[in-house]
Structure 1
């Protein structure tokens, strides 16, 4: 069966400053994020990727451009790979959101969470986010396999919560437990769907850095997950030679 690589976009200034960017326009990669994306491109250079599908948000589009580089790989956009629609939480600091009563529900029962409405940003439930992302990944995976065969590899570029939700589905894990999965900026995860079951072949793989193995102070003191995914604030990456 075909294999999908799930790549989270590289780091952004919103990540490093602890802001939930969501669907805010104009959020691109910061200097570290650009280095991370280039490093992933080098890692994947010899892999015969047949298609790249990316979230429409700028940080994912920039990651895709850096990863694809000068290679001739069909690249398309799918809105269903876009970030969770956080509604009124969009653009607010993680520190502020942690004081909201909804925060505990996000941590402990995400399947029950619907983000609050906003006049500026769409909102959805976390269950809706998972459903549309899983549906999109499985649909594209079937298309890729039909066109390129069972050994085909394709790349989906998306966001932390979205990738965690897709991985949870593949692992047979309830959405209420998906916060147990970590997906760092510019990390690779992989799923091979078969007629019997999905096989999860990678999770949060970032061979360019081991910095995330030492938790930051706030991570060590708390068991809470960060909406949107890990911030990558203290991550270091090696510049490709």
Structure 2
């Protein structure tokens, strides 16, 4: 039952200006984004992660490097194209305010499973390759490090929302009900019978309990005892 911490990259220059960056090269964290990544890295420093896996795009690499700087024992950043940003095709690089006037916008909002971006990929294809990548990586890391392994995947908003929707048993058409902010932390533990969603879109709070043994894969009837009292995060 390995556990993946899903981290969205910090805020970028494109986020701040209301532009859909997509896979545009050279989009980097702005000052706020770098500060966000630093705070998330400090929060994760209490967790002994076995790997940090990043989308290939620079904003995710920057966020990942911040996380790695506060880890002990994780020496290398691994890149996985399976969790790269959605290919928004001709929408890429355009202002969100202009895209909202397109007919496809309402499809993306209300029936994302039917949305295919012109010259790009569909949201359904995006979800399928992201889930495949995350589940394969999770299985490999559990096989290498054991069932209590915790690892980090640094990716993008729609990617993480689609992974969470799958873990929650939600149809893709409902994934817009989820919110994933820049540098937020969401947590999924994959078990033998079902995934367990431990957190969604969090910005603060102790995470040291993630290093503890997970025990049984069965859900605790009545809710269980929960983790021990929070401990201070090392600076």
TM-score by length of 2: 0.85
Q: Deviations over 1:142-200 (max 9, x none)?
A: 01100111111000000000000000000000000000000000000010011111000
Q: Indicate how the Cα distance of structure 1 residues 139 and 130 shifts in structure 2: closer, same or farther if over 3 A, else same.
A: same
Answer whether contact 2:41 2:70 (CA < 8 A) is retained. Answer: no
Question: Does the residue aligned with 2:116 lie in a helix, a strand or coil?
Answer: coil
The answer on 1:194 being equivalent to 2:191 is yes
SS of equivalent to 1:179: helix
For 1:177 and 1:39, how far apart are their aligned partners in 2? 30
Secondary structure, in 3 states, of the residue corresponding to 2:153?
A: strand
The CA deviation string for residues 6-31 of structure 1, in whole angstroms up to 9 with x for no partner, is: 00000001111111000001000000
Structure 1: where are the runs of 5+ without partners? 118-122, 209-239
Aligned CA RMSD, in angstroms, stands at 1.3
Secondary structure of 2:188 counterpart: strand
Q: What is the count of residue pairs matched by the alignment? A: 205
Deviations 1:110-146 (A, max 9, x none): 00011001xxxxx100000000000000000001100
Give 3-state SS (helix, strand or coil) of 1:189's partner: strand
| 1:41-60 to 2 correspondences below 5 Å | 41-60=41-60
Kept after mapping to 1: 8 A contact 2:45/2:70: no
* Pairwise CA distance, 1:75: 1.8
Deviation (angstroms), 1:46: 2.0
Identify which of 81, 93, 109 aligns with 1:79: 81
* One of 137, 143, 148 as aligned partner of 2:145: 148
Unaligned runs of 5+ in 2: 206-233
